[in-house]
Amino acid sequence: MGKAPDQIIDKPKQKLYLAGPDIHILVADLVKQYHHDLMSVVDQVVILFKDTAPEDRIAVVAKASPKLAVLAAKPCVFTVEIGFDRWEKLSQLQQIALIDRALCAMVATQASDGSMTFKVRKPDISYFRDEVIRHGFWIASKEKPDDLTLASLVDRVFGQASSPEADEESEGP
């Protein structure tokens, strides 16, 4: 009988931990308030913490992989991996804004045949409009904003939002 081959086992560089029930209650509350398209899959959004986050982003939103579904021990459609080293330094309002930001990236669409499709979208510029409207420019920046109102900052970054009244006024005779 021959010798067993040497095995190289890749150890994960960072451990993943399933978020506690308080985070999942927050997700459910935000979905109920702002993300109605996610209502049918809210229980399939899995929040995970990892030891550290890369410098360029605190959280990563993805469509669920089979490996992460096993870790979550339940079906999942979307996963959010958050660097705990950065999470714990955020204020409670910033933590809420981060979860809302992650939910803004998730899109669940029902087709005419009743099937669901899921995708992760990139943010509008570096923020989502809804995130800024609800929480302001909450991500720490070295730049100091000038004395503009939140509404004018949103308009400056995203352009003016069109309203039904504005659309009616802009139509020609």
pLDDT digits (tens, 9 = 90+) for 107-122: 999 888 988 889 999 8
**Position 9 in a domain:** no
User: pTM (2 decimals)?
Assistant: 0.67
Mean pLDDT, the chain, rounded, equals 77
- Beta sheet of 78-83, edge-to-edge order: 16-18, 45-50, 78-83, 59-63
The domain total for the chain is 1
pLDDT digits (tens, 9 = 90+) for 44-56: 999 989 888 877 6
Would you state the pLDDT for residue 88? 92
Would you state the pLDDT for residue 3? 55
Which domain covers residue 20, as residue numbers? 16-121
Task: Place 165 in a pLDDT band, splitting at 50, 70 and 90.
Answer: very low
**Position 57 in a domain:** yes
Would you state the pLDDT for residue 166? 42
Has residue 28 got a pLDDT over 90?
Answer: yes
**Position 167 in a domain:** no
**Position 100 in a domain:** yes
**Position 11 in a domain:** no
Task: Place 125 in a pLDDT band, splitting at 50, 70 and 90.
Answer: low
**Position 157 in a domain:** no
CATH number, position 81: 3.30.2010
Would you state the pLDDT for residue 70? 62
Lowest mean pLDDT among 9-23, 40-54, 69-83, 142-156: 142-156
Task: Place 173 in a pLDDT band, splitting at 50, 70 and 90.
Answer: very low
Q: What DSSP line would sit under 6-46, residue for residue?
A: P---PPPSS-EEEPPHHHHHHHHHHHHHH-GGGGGGGGGEE
**Position 171 in a domain:** no
The answer to whether the CB of 114 falls within 8 A of the CB of 120 is: no
**Position 88 in a domain:** yes
